[in-house]
Every structure is written in C-alpha cells, then in structure tokens.
Chains A and B, each alone.
Chain A
Amino acid sequence: MQLSPKNTIILEAKGLTRRFGGLVAVNNVSFAVNQHEIFGLIGPNGAGKTTLFNLITALIPFSSGELIYEGKVISQLKPHQIAGLGIARTFQNIRLFGELSALDNVIIARHLHTKSNIVTGILGLPLATREEENSRQKALELLELIGLSDRTEEKAKNFAYGDQRRLEIARALALEPQILLLDEPAAGMNNNEKHQLSEFIRDLRDRLNLTIILIEHHVPLVMGLCDRIAVLHFGQLIALGEPSVVRNDPAVIEAYLGD
C-alpha cells in the first residue's frame, strides 16, 4: 500500500554551491528527492557529501543556489527553523549531548513538540507536567525501538560507538521529521550489524512514512537499500539514478577506481 504518490518532490536543490576559500566543496549541485524515497548519497572521501548535508540543514550558509522544501524556498532559514519544518539529521562525527542520559538526549529533541515555558514549567502546571510525561513516554518508546530501553539513565558518552549512532537516530526521530538525513549511519558496524541497520532503515521509512537521505561508504548497503543514488565527486554531481544504472555508469567507475 502506497499512500503518497511516488513522484511527489519533497526536497529540491537547485545549483547548490559552497566555496571554502578557493575550494569548491559543493559545486552547482541540483537534484530532487521524492517523497517516501530512500535517497543515497555516495562518493569518495572529500567529495562534499557532509557539506551538502550541512547546507541542507543550514549549519553552513551556501555561496549560491536554492533549496526548495514542499514547494517553498527555505534558503534563508536557521538550523532550528529547518528542524521545525521537519528535517532531522544525524551527524557523521557523533554529536550527542554526552554528559546527559540517553533518555534526556531523546527528550531534548521533543522540544518542538512541547510548548511549556519557564514559568509554567517551574510551577509544574498541569499542562507542563502532562507534556513532560508525554515527552518521556515518547522518548522511552524510541529507545525501545532502537533496543536501548534497558540503559535509559546511562550517559550518552558511555555508549559503544554503534549504540551512539542508533541513539542519534532515535534523537532525530523524536522530532517526528518528514525527512531524515543519516550521515554514515553504518560507520563502525560489522556486516551483520550493517544488514540489520539496513532492514531497520527500510522499516522506519515504511512505518513512519519518512523520506530518507543517507550518506554511506559501504557500497553494497547503499545499492541494496536505496531507491535512487546520487554520486558526488570533487563537489560535483556526476551521476544520479537507480542503483543498477549508477553502478554501471563509466564516470562513477572512474571516480571510484581512479584512472
């Protein structure tokens, strides 16, 4: 059962460019991501994949170009406003709130779905208390989903690498996003874990009706999981299409194997 028509564009990049001094990290990149799609972003190291994520989530401003989300230009927004639109992300170099518990990490991401201010919160008025309880419940559900429900009070920095990556996903999901950007979610996992993660991501997409954009180095995982793949090389988009097409693209083969 497919609720949304497969070819509704949810996010579109038009000529995105970002220069760092003389280096063009992302060079005139244009693509469109369809609703309910798992969209892969691959490329050799330094191709500009993470920079592209940072541009989409407004962590760094772009030098030129335009970003369109659900038909609206979102180029001038701040990171928290992008999150408010329903675009959530994880980070390549894990950025959890290390000194805080796993539970608090996820509850913090319920920020936009709660409204209590400093007065109603401190006084513990019924609305604020109910909100707190809801956030807690929701966060516990998400921790259950990623299989960390028995370690909710542990500090995030004490988790193993793979668990931290999963915790980041739970935190991003707490935003109830439309689009989920995953930056190398399988990094540091073994093949078995990678396979599980791949199942998990597909399941998430179907269950929560998400659109997922993911950066990943592990080519088999990307090929098996993604509906379409974009290949970046030195900041430029050199191929875009279904896995079978991209795999046989001469430019891609050259980028990966060298000349």
Chain B
Amino acid sequence: MNDFFSTYGSLIVSMVLGSLVGLSLYLPLMTGQLSLASPGFYALGGYIAAILSTKVFISKSNLFPIHFLLLEMLIAGIISGLLGIAVGIPALRLRGIYLAIATIAFVEVLRVISLNLDITGGAVGIFGIPQPFENQIEYLWIALPLLIISMVLFYRLERIRVGRAFLAIREDELAAGAMGINPTYYKVLAFTLGSILAGMVGAISAHFLNTWNARQGTFDASIIYLTFVLIGGSRSFLGAVLGGMVFTALPEVLRNLADTGGLPDWLSHFLRDGRLIIFGLLIVIGTIFFPQGLVTPDLFKKLTKVKRS
C-alpha cells in the first residue's frame, strides 16, 4: 500500500485537483457561457499562495502550518472572486466564441504581467514553496474535502432557485429574461463562483508543485481544461469531475504505454509528447460524436432505471 501511494500519490492528488479545475470551468458553462478564464484565476491563486508562503507567512517549523494554507486559499478565493466580478461584468456582454476569445486574452494578459513583475519572480517564477505535508499523497487531506464539499454544493445548486436560473439561461437566455431572470446577474455570479474555485485550487497547487511560474496559466492549460468538461460532460457536474480525473491521468497512462517497449519509435514519441495533439483531436472528435460529453444527465436516468428494474 505504501508503495502504491509513493508511486501514484502525486498522480492521485493531481487528478483530484484536475477535477476541481474542471468544476471551475463547468460553473460558467452552467449558464451556457464558454469561458476559458479558469487558468488565469488558477495561476493568480497560485501566485498569491506562493508569495504569501515564501514572503509573509514565514514559519520556523519544519512543515508549513496547514492553517496558513487554508488562510491562503481563503485570500486567493476572495481576490480571484473580486477580479472575477471586475472581469465578468464587461466580458459577459460577449457571447459564444467572442467570450472564449476575450477570456483567452485575459489569461494571456495575466501571464505576461506575471512574467514581468518582480514579485512573481519574472520568467523564473517562485521556487521552494514550503510544504505542509511530508508526502505528496497527504495533500488529499485538503484537496479531497474541497472536492467533496464542491460536489455536494453542485448537487444542491442544480436543485435550487439560483441553479435553475443558471440552467434556464443556458437553455434560452432570451426566454429566461422574459421569465423575470436577470441574465447578466446570474452569468456574472456563475463566472465569479468559478473564478473563486479556480483561485483556491491554484493556491493548493502552488504548494503541491513546490514551484510556480508563468507556465501555469497558459493557452495550453485552457485547452486541456476545456477537454475536461467538453469530453467529460458539459451538462452534468459529474462529467467535469470525471473528465478532470481521467484527462489528468491520461498523459501519465500514455507515457507508461510509450515505455512498455516494442512500439515503433515515432509512436512512443507521439504518446509521450503529443499530449496537446491528442487533447485537440479529442475535442474535435468529442464535439462531433458526444456534443454533451460522455457523462450526461440522461445517462444517469438510464443507469438508475436499469438498477430499479
């Protein structure tokens, strides 16, 4: 068991963090808005945690105190949320592909700013972010409760007034407006909730990865996170969770596959380094054959029916 955890601990935590990022992208999608801003808030949250833990919360003990990590997550969530409101109000006037482009631009702006500021360590980034745990697997103590709480919240959200307003806007924004729902308000709310979650996950990731730099919030990351929800399922939060887990693990699985030997050189090269190509292909194929992703609300209805009968 210990062997298993020391080999796969890092991957398991990455998968949980991946599904949380997936959820942060799923929130604006609940209102039908394709926003790719999550990596920006993720990077911002990471920088906040990295700066606070290396410059402000200096502790003498061997392990970084967990309550400081929780405090960093809180601060990262608040700042991301405030920035989310500030960015969301103008950006959500745009729709569809234009919103996607605007949010990609937002991620790029944050990336370039972080490359050029002293406090973010410029191109080098921030090193030696203190560790609150001895083993990487122990990050689950933070990441897993956050995922479970988030999933419970999402489950509830889909069954209450606010969540139904989100879905109504996704289904038909114009009709939702005619039914008395203020589309702008709820779109900004969903976008802001997503940015809070992304910021908090970033704060955990910064500690988990030990180092943080401008490569965390890039266009590549946007595409990978988009795969999480588009292929996992854009109509059910479980799709985002499963998508986040599977597609975080996929590159590792492919790398193992490449190392098994007996494969032609070009194929093992492709499996090792062609991650973005594979994800890109999956997005194209997925949107054609599974426009709502693999995990859909209908799938659950079918499964529960089978169980009952």
Contacts and interface: CB of A to CB of B under 8 A. Distances in A.
A97 B161 contact: no
Interface stretch (B58-66, B87-95, B174-182, B224-232): B174-182
Nearest to B152: A122
B76 interface: no
A114 B168 contact: no
Nearest to B193: A118
Interface residues of A, number: 37
B172 A111 contact: no
A124 interface: yes
Interface in A69-100: 78-80, 82-84, 88-89, 91, 95-100
B156 interface: yes
A253 interface: no
Given A97-B167, A122-B156, A78 B177 contact: yes
A132 interface: yes
Q: How large is the interface on B (under 10, 10 to 19, 20 to 34, 35 or more residues)?
A: 20 to 34
Contact of A175 (B161, B177, B180, B183): B180
B171 A111 contact: no
Interface string B7-31: 0000000000000000000000000
Contacts, number: 98
Given A121-B160, A128-B160, A80 B180 contact: yes
Interface stretch (A13-21, A102-110, A205-213, A226-234): A102-110
B160 A111 contact: no
A236 interface: no
Contacts of A91: 175, 178
Contacts of A83: 177-180
B181 A111 contact: yes
A196 interface: no
A96 B171 CA distance: 8
15 contacts: A78-B182, A79-B177, A80-B178, A80-B180, A83-B180, A88-B179, A96-B175, A100-B167, A107-B164, A108-B165, A111-B161, A112-B180, A118-B189, A124-B156, A131-B161
Given A84-B180, A96-B171, A100-B167, 15 more contacts: A57-B178, A79-B177, A79-B178, A80-B182, A88-B179, A97-B171, A98-B171, A100-B168, A100-B171, A111-B161, A118-B189, A121-B163, A124-B156, A131-B161, A175-B179
Closest 10 pairs between A and B when the two form their complex, measured CB to CB:
A121-B160, A97-B171, A79-B177, A83-B180, A112-B180, A95-B175, A109-B179, A122-B156, A118-B162, A108-B168
